[in-house]
């Protein structure tokens, strides 16, 4: 498992193509460099180790999936990045 962060520095755990919030909630699945929620709605784009919401890419649709539980994390946040885009709409 690896760690990635949102634009504002909130940690997400990556297990294969699945992304989990700090609470352990399954919040997104990666398809290439884009992440989609369980309904197939665009959540953000992976840029390096950051997940950033980019409004120019929000028309993308991914396949829906069944969420799965995962252990929570106590990982610390990071400093926000200045890269173009917004904080993705992911619950913590």
For residue range 27-60, what is the model confidence (pLDDT) as tens digits?
999 999 999 999 999 999 999 999 999 998 888 8
DSSP 40: S
Rg (C-alpha) for the chain, rounded Å, is 12
Q: Tell me the backbone φ, ψ of residue 80, rounded to 5 degrees.
A: -65, 155
For residue range 13-29, what is the model confidence (pLDDT) as tens digits?
999 999 998 888 999 99
d(CA 40, CA 29): 9
Q: Is the pTM above the cut of 0.75?
A: yes
Question: Among 1.20.120, 1.10.132, 2.40.220, 2.30.110, what is the CATH number of 2-57?
Answer: 2.40.220
Q: Domain ranges for the chain, please list them.
A: 2-57
């Amino acid at each position: 498992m690896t760690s990635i962060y949102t634009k504002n520095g909130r940690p997400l755990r990556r297990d294969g193509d699945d992304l989990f919030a700090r609470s352990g909630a399954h919040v997104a699945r990666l398809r290439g460099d884009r992440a989609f929620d369980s309904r197939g709605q665009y959540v953000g784009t992976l840029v390096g180790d950051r997940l950033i919401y980019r409004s120019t890419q929000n028309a993308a649709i991914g396949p829906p999936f069944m969420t799965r539980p995962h252990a929570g994390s106590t990982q610390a946040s990071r400093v926000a990045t200045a890269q173009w885009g917004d904080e993705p709409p992911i619950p913590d």
